Structure 1
Amino acid sequence: MTAGAPHPTVLSTLRTMSGPVRVLVLGNLISNLAAFLNAFLVLFLTGQGFSAGESGVVLMALMVGRISGSAVGGSVADRVGYRWVVTGSMAGTAVLTAAIVHVPNVWVGALVACGAGLTANAYRPAAMAWIVAETPKDRHVMVFSLLRLTFNVGSTVGPLGAALLLAYASYDALFYVDAATSLAFGVVAFAALGPGREPAPAAAGKTANQEERPGYGRVLADRRFLLVVLGLFLTALAYIQSSAALPLFVKGSGHSAQVYATLLTINGFMVIACEVLLSKWTQRLPIGVPMVAGMALLGVGHLIYAGPSPVAMLVLATVVWTFGEVVAAPSMMAYPGLVAPPALRARYIGAATTPQQVGYAVGPLIGTAGWHAWGSGVWVLTGGFALAGAVFVAAGAGLRRRRVEPEPAEPALASSADSQ
């Protein structure tokens, strides 16, 4: 975007999205409308006669697969291309999700669940890297806010579909529908994202001074990027408390489950209603500013929870940290691909998302343990995580405006080294 040019609006961004980006965004919506495996795996297994402990082992295997999926997917995508990873991971997810229905014992169940978790997350670095390659830099934040919108809409509407399937069919049907949506996304991606439509970042994997393709070692050598990744990890530890420490805190403060449900509703409404529209302004800022501001607001919201706990204060705290989520999240998604060299886009994205998955996995353990040990003092801990995350991101991404240069004729091959 040249100096003095108008900033992209929501409608102009929608109109100018390339065909592959439209397919990937729509596919994300379809797959998330029926992403039932995480929420209903334990209930299904216990209903099939597995013990609570065995069901927990299978669920843990699913989480391990999801954590490793981003790193594996990022590495493979930069080597073999985005298209094969997107379509292959969706096909694998479909087969393994359907296979969950037929597992004979806990160990087979754990193996299948781990594979399903891995393939379900393996496509994300490839899809996000493809979106980056097809999108002008000044529209990255807006496009990723639209991608997040499809996730949030799917997560909101999906449980309604699950309730209908459980009312009129069975858990088997639930997982078969989940598998079918993954397969549908894979088929559409394979047909619509033909070889001629794919950017070729892997072709840039060799440099003048390097005969082999770069790997994660190059990513880990980027110290400023690693500071941002640490900030993303700490933020994930704090953010996941909305489903870990918060329900315990609300109940422990003498409020009903309806109050907790109201807080979640406020969060969901604000994210869906405000995030895309707010991205019109946040995309104009240096990429570090909305990330730092949003993480700081997340921390402040948690610190408000640590004070008096009438319903009005709970609502205020929820509004504050949700506004932080709305401000930061699209820029957090856009950042890795924006600063990555073309040959390392998927690896940068995988390196950023894997620690977040770890944060989402261990955060509930920290939050619940902190609640039982310190009561409302847990919010000082988790608020501190978010504020520390803001500091690390400020140090890594910086707060100064980057020099915006005109897009090259072939954005898929554009280097983003100037964004560092």
Structure 2
Amino acid sequence: MTAVRNWFRLTVGGLPRAFWHLWVVTLINRLGSFVLIYLTIYLSVVRDLEPGTIGLLLSAQGAGAIAGTQFAGVLTDRWSRRKTLMLSNFAASVVLLALAFAEQVWAMGVMLVLLGAALNMARPAFSAMITDIIRPADRVRAFTLNYWAINLGFAGAALLAGLVAGLDFHLIFFVNAAALAATGLLVLLKVPETRPVVVAADPAAAPVRVGRVLVRDRVFLSFIGLTFLPAFLMISLETLLPLQVTGSGLTEQQYSYIIATNGVIIVAGQLFIPRLVEGRRRSRVLALSCLFWAAGVGFVGVADTVAVFMLTVLIWTIGEMLQTPANSATIADLAPPTMRGRYQAAYSLAFQVSGLVAPVLGGLGMQYLGRWWWAVAAGVGVVAAIGNLVAEPARERRLAAVYAAEARAAKETQAAQDDSATAPEPVAPADRRRDDTGELAAVR
């Protein structure tokens, strides 16, 4: 029992209250995310759309996601983290209600563009807020806990959405909209603004161009490129694994059991990851995660039973569990404090672009290469692992410099607080009154 208490304390202890408010925001948001789970089925069953039309509508949502993320990156840095997060949730809530009543394809397309933009506006703001309030040593742990909340919420949403959709498909929109409004209200009431106070720049100094800073940041750009490769594998699995499973003679219901393995493993095991990787270089953790991705994806090509497919899911899920918190913490550390929103937005592009590229290349690969496509995909994971090891020296030097600078800033802040606490109280001037002659005299 003592060991369990110690593990629990080391896993969740020592994090600020603001983080737990954000954690609850994540959990409620994901518990109510019914529409994303059932959107394809809704468009097919309720709206009776063809697969090609559905694909175009989902691509429209992806285009909106790219635009919304980049716009939110600017808002997060220049306006407010907190207000951007509230705007995202409240706007998405309204758009979902409008989407529920959209009947024409063009109207659904417009609503899905707006929905993709509104939902993804939260990403840069949310990640920047966690980075602002969590010290570097605890960031992997914090992002792990947040990722666990995401998967716990999605697991609950999958169960609840099925029950709600069985009553009336339109209810999934109403419940999802209510959850988004509730999270926006929770941010309004409980989450403080975390955006760093920017010291006024010297008017004579040249303005800082964030785009130029990003383009010249080679360590950051290499990290984004290496993030794109496992993201490509992730999207390939999301879009093509159902085809591989059904093409092997298995049913859609058996596929649901197979893919459910992913959520079960993450919910059961994600909280153990921080202790396993504590003190290890993140570049090596990321390289190891890419090898798990490669192995899991590669074995998909030879799987033909439910048990073997579940084994492949187990393997690549371990890669996912290692990668996600390490990635989030690394990008948080690489981003300058005043540019965290835009760095997070640029980081999100790795996943959003892979969402556009992977289905096309993967579909063509499966069409012309068959099962051998998965061997090619495994090679992508191996390349990503090697790339992380090659990038390790420059990345670790950059991170070491960031940690040293943050430690110096913390010491200077503490020293200033100590000086103000020990400074002698100023001597108040003697009280004075006028004497009978009208002259000022000290009151003794």
Matched residues, number: 401
Report what 2:342 is aligned to.
Answer: 347
Report what 1:81 is aligned to.
Answer: 80
Q: How does 1:110-149 map to 2 (within 5 A)?
A: 110-149=109-148
State the distance in 2 between where 1:209 and 1:140 align: 37
Do 1:61 and 1:114's aligned partners in 2 also have CA atoms closer than 8 Å?
yes
Return the index of the structure with the highest Cα Rg. 2
CA shift for structure 1 position 145: 0.7
State the distance in 2 between where 1:35 and 1:361 align: 22
Do 1:214 and 1:344's aligned partners in 2 also have CA atoms closer than 8 Å?
no
Q: How does 1:260-409 map to 2 (within 5 A)?
A: 260-307=255-302, 309=304, 313-398=308-393, 403=400, 405=404, 407=407
TM-score by length of 1: 0.86
Do 2:293 and 2:381's aligned partners in 1 also have CA atoms closer than 8 Å?
yes
**Structure with more relative contact order (C-alpha pairs < 8 Å, separation 6 or more):** 1
Matched letter for residue 74 of structure 1:
G
State the distance in 1 between where 2:24 and 2:294 align: 33
Do 2:258 and 2:306's aligned partners in 1 also have CA atoms closer than 8 Å?
no
Matched letter for residue 129 of structure 1:
A
CA shift for structure 1 position 310: 5.6
Q: How does 1:16-95 map to 2 (within 5 A)?
A: 16-46=14-44, 49=47, 51-52=49-50, 53-95=52-94
CA shift for structure 1 position 279: 1.5
Give the % identical residues: 24
Taking a change above 3 Å as real, the CA distance of residues 13 and 132 of structure 1, as seen in their structure-2 partners, is: farther
Report what 1:186 is aligned to.
Answer: 184
State the distance in 1 between where 2:200 and 2:209 align: 6
Report what 1:418 is aligned to.
Answer: none
Report what 1:173 is aligned to.
Answer: 171
- What's the RMSD between the two structures over aligned residues? 2.7
Report what 1:156 is aligned to.
Answer: 155
What secondary structure, in the 3-state scheme, does the structure 2 residue paired with 1:17 have? coil
Structure 1 regions of 5+ residues with no counterpart?
Answer: 1-7, 414-420
Report what 1:4 is aligned to.
Answer: none
Matched letter for residue 31 of structure 1:
N
Matched letter for residue 180 of structure 1:
A
Taking a change above 3 Å as real, the CA distance of residues 408 and 20 of structure 1, as seen in their structure-2 partners, is: farther
Structure 2 regions of 5+ residues with no counterpart?
Answer: 1-5, 414-444
Higher mean C-alpha displacement, 70-79 vs 265-274: 265-274
CA shift for structure 1 position 227: 1.0
Do 2:301 and 2:375's aligned partners in 1 also have CA atoms closer than 8 Å?
yes
What secondary structure, in the 3-state scheme, does the structure 1 residue paired with 2:370 have? helix
Report what 2:428 is aligned to.
Answer: none
TM-score by length of 2: 0.82
Do 2:226 and 2:384's aligned partners in 1 also have CA atoms closer than 8 Å?
yes
1:317-347 per-position Cα deviation (integer Å, ceiling 9, x unaligned): 3332222112222101211111111011111
Taking a change above 3 Å as real, the CA distance of residues 50 and 215 of structure 1, as seen in their structure-2 partners, is: farther
CA shift for structure 1 position 188: 1.0
